Structure formats: structure tokens, C-alpha cells
Amino acid sequence: MKSLLIKDTTVSERAQIVREALGADGDCEGIDLSDMYDDYIYGLKELAEINREFSEKHAGAVVAGELMEQREQKQCLY
């Protein structure tokens, strides 16, 4: 497997890496993930740094939101 580091890839290769990783739909919970990876594509931040920053900022947010929705739905059923 080829290195994904900025120093080992070109801008077009990084753009292709992001497209392939995200698949056809680059939207998750209202966040445009393709924009999120622009800093990687343009050589400003490594993938690991972007992913770490995202995790630190959003850790538990999606799970917590889903749990609240489940609780609200159950309350309506009883």
C-alpha cells in the first residue's frame, strides 16, 4: 500500500484518496466531509491530524444525539 502522507502524494492523488474514502456521498450528519479534508488535499494537514481534531471536537455527539432520539421515541410509545 502506498503512503498517504502529504510528502508522498500529489494534490490530485490526495483528492482521489479522499473521494474514494468517502464514496459517492460525502455528507455525514450535516457535515460536508469533502470540505473537511481540503487541508489534506492542499497539503496543509495530514489525515491523522484532521481526524484527531474532528474526533476531539465531536466525540460522543452523534451517539448522544441518537440516544436522545431513541428515548424520545420510546416515551411517545408508552
Predicted confidence (pLDDT) per residue in 15-69, tens digit = 999 988 887 554 555 556 678 899 999 999 999 999 898 888 877 665 555 555 6
Residue-level pLDDT at 78? 36
Contact (CB, 8 A) for 36 and 67: no
Cα-based angle 43, 33, 64 (whole degrees, multiple of 5): 130
Q: Which three cell numbers stand for residue 14?
A: 490526495
Exposure string (b/e) for 7-39, b if CB count within 10 Å is 16 or more? eebeeeebbebbeeebeeebeeeeeebbebbeb
